[in-house]
Amino acid sequence: MEYKVISADCHLDLIWLPPDLFTSNASAALKDRMPFVTDGDDGPVWISKGGAVFGLQNGMGSAGRKYVPGQIHRADRMAETGLYEDGRNGIRRLTDPDLRIKDQDLDGIQAEVLYGILGAVLWRNRRADKKEGSDE
C-alpha cells in the first residue's frame, strides 16, 4: 500500500481509556495506586488516590478539559462529528481501535504513529503535590 497521509503525532489519552482499566487489571498490592474515575462537578473525572487530577472522562484534549463550544475551532470540528457526545455515552472512539480507524478514514489518514499517555505520571502528580504543599 502506498501511504499518502500518515499522522505522526497522535497519542492515547488516559481520559479516553475504559474507566476500570487500571483498577480491574492491577494486582491487589497495586490496586490502590491506580488512577480511577469518580464523580466530579462537571461529570466523571480521572483522579489518583494522591489527589492528581487527570481530567474529565472522555474530555477534550490530553488534559480532559470540559468542551465549551466556540472556544477552540479544532474542538468544535471534533464535536460536530459527535465525538464528545459519544464520549458522554461511553463510546470511546479515540481508544477503541475499530472506531479510531473509522475516524482516520473520515480524515483520509492511512496510518498513524501513536504515543502513550501524555503527562500522566510526572507532571500531573507534581501538580497534585504542590496543591498539598509539598516541596518536591
Q: Is the separation of the CB atoms in 37 and 57 below 8 Å? A: yes
Cell of residue 2, nine digits = 502506498
Q: Flag whether 136 is in a domain.
A: no
Q: Flag whether 71 is in a domain.
A: yes
Q: Which residues pair with 47 in a beta bridge?
A: 36, 53
Q: Flag whether 67 is in a domain.
A: yes
pTM, rounded to two decimals = 0.80
Q: Flag whether 46 is in a domain.
A: yes
Q: Flag whether 23 is in a domain.
A: yes
Q: Calculate mean pLDDT across residues 103-113.
A: 92
- pLDDT range class, residue 3, cuts 50, 70, 90: confident
Q: Flag whether 1 is in a domain.
A: no
Q: Flag whether 108 is in a domain.
A: yes
- pLDDT range class, residue 100, cuts 50, 70, 90: very high
- Give the residue carrying C-alpha cell 504543599: 133
SS3 per-residue string spanning the chain = CCCCCEEEEEECCHHHCCCCHHHHHCCCCCHHHCCEEEEECCEEEEECCCCCEEEECCCECCCCECCCCCCCHHHHHHHHCCHHHHHHCCCCCCCCHHHHHHHHHHHCCCEEEEECCCCCCHHHHHHHHHHCCCCC
- Cα separation, 36 vs 129, in Å, equals 18
Look at residue 116 in the predicted model and tell me its pLDDT: 82
Q: How many domains does the chain have?
A: 1
More confident residue, 67 or 12: 67
Look at residue 132 in the predicted model and tell me its pLDDT: 47
Domain that holds residue 51: 13-128
Q: Flag whether 8 is in a domain.
A: no
